[in-house]
Amino acid sequence: MCKDPKQRPGASLKNKQAHTEDHRSWSRRSFLQNLGLVGGAGLAFGGMSISAMSSPALLPMLSQQGVDDRILVLIRLKGGNDGLNTIIPTFDYGTYQAARPSIAIPSSQIIDLNDEFGMQSSMESLLPLWNEGQMKVINTVGYDNHNLSHFNSSDIWNSARTDIGISDDQSGWLGRYILNQDPDYLENLPEIPAAIKVSSGSSITYNNAEQIDLAVNFNSPDRLLQIAETGLVYDTVNLPDDCYYGEQVGFLRSVMNVTFNYAPHISTAYNAVENAVEYNNDELSRQLAIVARLIKGGLGTKLFMVTLNGFDTHENQNNTHPQLMNSLSQAVNAFYADLSASGQNQQVLSMTFSEFGRRIQENQGGTDHGTAAPVMLFGPALNGNGILGDAPDLSNTDANGNLLHSTDFRSIYATILESWLCLEASSVDALLGQSFTRLDELGLDCIEGVGTNNLPLKQGIQHAVRINGAGDPVIMYQLDRPGQIELSVYTILGQKISTLFSGYQSAGKHEALFISPFRSISSAALVYRILADGKLYGGKMMALK
């Protein structure tokens, strides 16, 4: 008899052996990956996997529509973050407290974000970002038939595919993005890495289909710091005393240092600037402090991932979870204050994610694996604060007592890919395997300095035709909002003559000149068609002799 995957024993401490084995398999893959045996290519020494990332052709691809400085920082909350104790449903506080008699955040320790939600006081350092319009929350994020295994659910989030467990394609969503931009990048090793991961070895986010990790992967901030400070991977001075053996070790280390050609560039960027603020001496703060210096020093890397571990709070949650959220909040606050000092905070968008949330009901001082949970985003590019998505319904759950999701996590990815990394809408859909709703309320847009908060959520087009002095028709149209537009001209019988424009356009007025191929024949009645957001707009015009 087949086991029900939703009743997976490893999701709860009720079956400690299964839960332990789930963690062992998770840790085993991370260990192998850091050795370069799985999910890594190239060199692997000293607990660090080094692999090729991007190509000279890739970096310009990441720089479309005047947004060449845009950076995405993923903040991985490893272990399954308890969303209900992160963004607290104060609108239904009685139900929340009844389900969690010993771990519910007391009302006196809740910071109100609006009339319906608050965050625990340990997250106070995020309040300035919220008040300045640089923080948004998307509630009840998840996917259908949520997997409750750390290992499998992490892969689902990192790949953006719910069938990743049975698929031959083990690529990550940003790995596919990289290959979409430059399919041949592995043939040309670049000088500048386009992606860096810190303490995130088991994540397949940047994998290609063959499980090659396309990111430069450091298994600790100390290893990244060592390279950033010295520009070298291995010490070529302090060698073993044995003459012959020492010479061989020195030679190999020198080869390794030359082979890892990213090290000098990382070091140059890191040493070009200082942190403008003081960071805490904890794991996440040290990671973000290094990332800030690499950004400010002009390294050119566009994609980063950092990790905060410890969110599998089956026990002792009252102590563990507030400490984790305090670490996250202070690190993010310092990170943006640091970037703001050099005026580079505008170009950096960051986002938290975790493999799953936790159960509504507490589990004797903790919570078991759950489903939907909030995602938090940070940065001035959000153009205002807000809590998006449906509120968690604590009374309407799935068969296991878990929250129902209202926003598919891939909608967030789709929005970031299209409205932050500026990938064409059709390419986003192909990359994710299907079309997911875009979250326009996030306020992101590919037009530099323009947000969508004050724009309509749906496209509207006004259009007309005028004849210029040469007798050629000019199609005039006005877009209510920016978006992907295709403008084509057809004969009355439906035969396409030409495409006048195809691509991304800003909101406002536009014109397109049509030079008729029928000048030498006769006047012709034609049709123009504007395709936007799956809707057609159009009219008739005359191409004169």
More confident residue, 146 or 229: 146
Domain residue spans in the chain? 54-442, 461-543
What is the spatial distance between Cα 480 and Cα 469, in angstroms, rounded to a whole number?
A: 28
How many CA within 13 A on the CB side of residue 434?
8
CATH class of 461-543: mainly beta
- In this predicted structure, the answer to whether residue 190 has a pLDDT above a threshold of 90 is no
- Minimum mean pLDDT range among 186-190, 489-493, 541-545: 186-190
Report, as an integer, the average pLDDT of 236-240: 64
Q: Looking at the predicted structure, is the pLDDT value of residue 251 above 70?
A: no
Return the pLDDT at 245.
60
How does pLDDT run across 409-422, given as a tens digit for each residue? Answer: 999 999 999 999 98
| Residue 249 banded pLDDT, cuts 50, 70, 90 | low
Across the range 47-69, mean pLDDT stands at 39
* 527-542 tens-digit pLDDT: 888 988 777 888 888 7
- pLDDT (tens digit per residue) in 479-522: 887 778 899 988 877 788 889 998 878 788 899 998 877 554 45
pLDDT at 259 over 90: no
Q: Could you read off the pLDDT of 71-81 as tens digits, one per residue?
A: 999 999 999 99
Q: Give yes or no for residue 315 having a pLDDT over 60.
A: yes
pLDDT at 248 over 90: no
pLDDT tier at 192 (50, 70, 90 boundaries)?
confident
Burial class (CB in 10 A: 0-12, 13-18, 19+), 316: exposed
The rounded mean pLDDT for the chain is 82
CATH hierarchy code of domain 54-442: 3.40.720
φ, ψ at 335 (rounded to 5°):
-60, -50
Query: What is the average per-residue pLDDT within 109-135?
Result: 97
pLDDT recorded at residue 47: 32
Cα distance between residue 406 and residue 138, in whole Å? 10
Q: How far apart are CA 537 and CA 517, in angstroms?
A: 23
- The DSSP bridge partners found for residue 537 are 530
Angstrom distances, CA of residue 184 to CA of 54, 165, 181: 9, 27, 9
Helix (H, G, I), strand (E, B) or coil at 306: strand
Alpha helices in 100-214 (DSSP H): 127-131, 150-159, 173-181
Asked if 448 contacts 147 with a C-beta cutoff of 8 angstroms, the reply is: no
Q: What pLDDT does 87 receive?
A: 98
